């Protein structure tokens, strides 16, 4: 698993990186020195285990929730985590599980925000940011893509907390109907950013469709901006700042 997360070795800055893995939830957690103490780690672990348990129990009784790639309405007695995933998926016009990585990144980040004003949580390329200073998020579109390592999003503190989530049809294990090397979406809600990144990435069939995919993402309420990359073609739009690395 560490090899599939090799990009984490490129993290730089003032924060210390920690890891927490619970099943499919594989978190890189960046905090100021001294915050990641045993009680904090255990408290976060317990919090995420509860949420994961609630979701897994619901999936067992409603397997269509996990299987569908289309908007879905959960039962009235579904736990809050399932309703949040469904809400994000419905806004993006995709299945609820398209939002799951962003949801758990945000669930960890919002819990940790009680201990620090600077929290970054990354879950398989889906990021929750809460910081008192500007943060730069590099865009990775695969080892051979000409844009990888060259571009980044610069996010001011007044835009945080927020989610920066990436979907890809060419790298990583996630399912996609498209061939985007990177479909990046920025939104206030990380679960929504994750679902919209999936939906927009599904629309990228070649380099000529990246602009339409960005336009689709920006039509979703709550999305601030997007960057779509396919081969040597890129489109970017919205209330975002792109910077060179």
Q: What would the DSSP string read from start to end of 28-60?
A: EEEE-TT---HHHHHHHHHHHHHHHHHHHHHHH
Contacts of 89 by beta carbon, 8 Å cutoff, 6+ apart: 71, 72, 95, 96, 97, 98, 99, 195
Q: What is the mean pLDDT of residues 141-166?
A: 94
Q: Is the pLDDT of residue 127 over 70?
A: yes
Q: Is the pLDDT of residue 186 over 80?
A: yes
Which pLDDT score, from 0 to 100, does residue 6 have? 63
Which pLDDT score, from 0 to 100, does residue 170 have? 79
Tell me the pLDDT tens digit for each residue of 222-233. 999 999 999 999
| CATH topology (fold) of 3-244 | T-fold (3.10.520)
Which pLDDT score, from 0 to 100, does residue 169 have? 81
Read off the pTM.
Answer: 0.93
Percent over 70 (pLDDT), the chain: 95
Max CA distance (Å), the chain: 51
The answer to whether the CB of 188 falls within 8 A of the CB of 222 is yes
The Cα 104–Cα 59 span in angstroms is 16
- Average pLDDT for the chain: 93
Q: What is the mean pLDDT of residues 135-149?
A: 91
The Cα 238–Cα 99 span in angstroms is 21
Tell me the pLDDT tens digit for each residue of 59-110. 999 999 999 999 999 999 999 999 999 999 999 999 999 999 999 999 999 9
Which pLDDT score, from 0 to 100, does residue 93 have? 96
Band the pLDDT of 172: cuts 50, 70, 90: confident
Which pLDDT score, from 0 to 100, does residue 12 have? 65
Which pLDDT score, from 0 to 100, does residue 26 have? 94
């Amino acid at each position: 698993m560490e090899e599939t997360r090799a990009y984490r070795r490129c993290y730089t800055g003032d924060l210390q990186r920690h890891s927490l893995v619970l099943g499919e939830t594989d978190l890189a957690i960046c905090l100021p020195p001294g915050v990641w103490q045993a009680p904090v780690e255990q408290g976060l672990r317990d919090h995420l285990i509860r949420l994961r348990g609630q979701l897994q129990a619901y999936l067992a009784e409603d397997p269509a929730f996990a299987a569908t790639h289309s908007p879905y309405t959960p039962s009235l007695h579904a736990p809050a985590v399932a309703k949040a995933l469904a809400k994000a998926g419905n806004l993006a016009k995709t299945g609820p599980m398209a939002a799951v990585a962003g949801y758990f990144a945000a669930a960890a980040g919002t819990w940790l925000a009680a201990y620090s004003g600077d929290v970054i949580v990354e879950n398989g390329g889906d990021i929750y940011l809460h910081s008192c200073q500007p943060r730069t998020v590099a865009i990775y579109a695969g080892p051979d893509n000409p844009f990888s390592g060259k571009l980044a999003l610069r996010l001011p503190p007044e835009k945080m907390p927020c989610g920066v989530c990436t979907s890809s049809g060419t790298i990583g294990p996630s399912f996609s109907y498209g061939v985007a090397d990177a479909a990046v979406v920025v939104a206030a809600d990380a679960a929504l950013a994750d679902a919209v990144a999936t939906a927009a990435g599904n629309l990228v069939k070649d380099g000529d469709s990246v602009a339409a995919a960005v336009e689709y993402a920006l039509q979703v309420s709550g999305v601030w901006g997007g960057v779509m990359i396919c081969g040597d073609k890129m489109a970017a739009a919205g209330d975002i700042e792109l910077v060179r690395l």
